[in-house]
Chains A and B, each alone.
Chain A
Amino acid sequence: DTAVSQTPKYLVTQMGNDKSIKCEQNLGHDTMYWYKQDSKKFLKIMFSYNNKELIINETVPNRFSPKSPDKAHLNLHINSLELGDSAVYFCASSPWTDRYGYTFGSGTRLTVV
């Protein structure tokens, strides 16, 4: 019973392509996030949604477009992929408060060639 599940786990694609990553949580959390982890393992917030509403857009290029059809799902679509987009992307969820931890998915390793 995976709490936060992301698909796919691995994604290899050519520059210029468009791709999507899907995320679903079964924890009943109100808030979902996308984080990017670079090659040095630094985790950086990209987007945050609360109950389907965009809360944070952290100066991410507009080639990245999140979509939340309901509060259990948050997908990430990336247009015109670039080499620099190669990273591990993590979805996470939490209750709507600062003090509870996040539950992360196992990540999607995106490689742009």
Chain B
Amino acid sequence: TQLLEQSPQFLSIQEGENLTVYCNSSSVFSSLQWYRQEPGEGPVLLVTVVTGGEVKKLKRLTFQFGDARKDSSLHITAAQPGDTGLYLCAGPRPNQAGTALIFGKGTTLSVSS
């Protein structure tokens, strides 16, 4: 059973479009993180959200943590080709503090110019 479900699995859009990717769970997480992975590289941390309802902005990227801490979203405004990559959400296993992060299966984003 996958604890973190990401959708959509694939997204192909034109430069300048907006998009949202989702990370959902039936479990409560103490925090969630978003990573971006480019081909041939390891994932790179974008943001950590900790408080239910929290919104964080990183330039054109907006991250939200659900009020109940069971879901998160990543919204990209005016996507650019440089945003292309695999977006992963991750969190510590619920009720198991100090364990390693578990990851969703990712959203592969392709932005064409």
Residues of A within 8 A of B (CB): 4, 33, 40-45, 48, 55-56, 58, 90, 92, 96, 98-107
Contacts and interface: CB of A to CB of B under 8 A. Distances in A.
Of all A-B residue pairs in the complex, the 8 with the closest CB atoms, nearest first, are: A104-B42, A101-B45, A98-B92, A45-B100, A43-B103, A48-B100, A99-B31, A104-B43
Contacts of B48: 99-101
Given A96-B98, A101-B33, A42 B103 contact: yes
10 contacts: A41-B108, A43-B103, A45-B100, A55-B99, A98-B98, A102-B43, A102-B45, A104-B42, A107-B41, A107-B42
Nearest to A33: B100
B58 interface: no
Contacts of B100: 33, 45, 48, 56, 58
B105 A40 contact: yes
B11 interface: no
Interface of B: 30-31, 33, 35, 37, 40-45, 48, 50, 86, 88, 90, 92, 97-103, 105-106, 108
Given A92-B42, A104-B43, A98 B103 contact: no
B70 to A, nearest CB: 16
A4 B43 CA distance: 12
Contact of A102 (B41, B98, B101, B105): B101
Contacts of A48: 99-100
A56 B97 CA distance: 12
A87 B68 CA distance: 35
Contacts of B105: 40-42
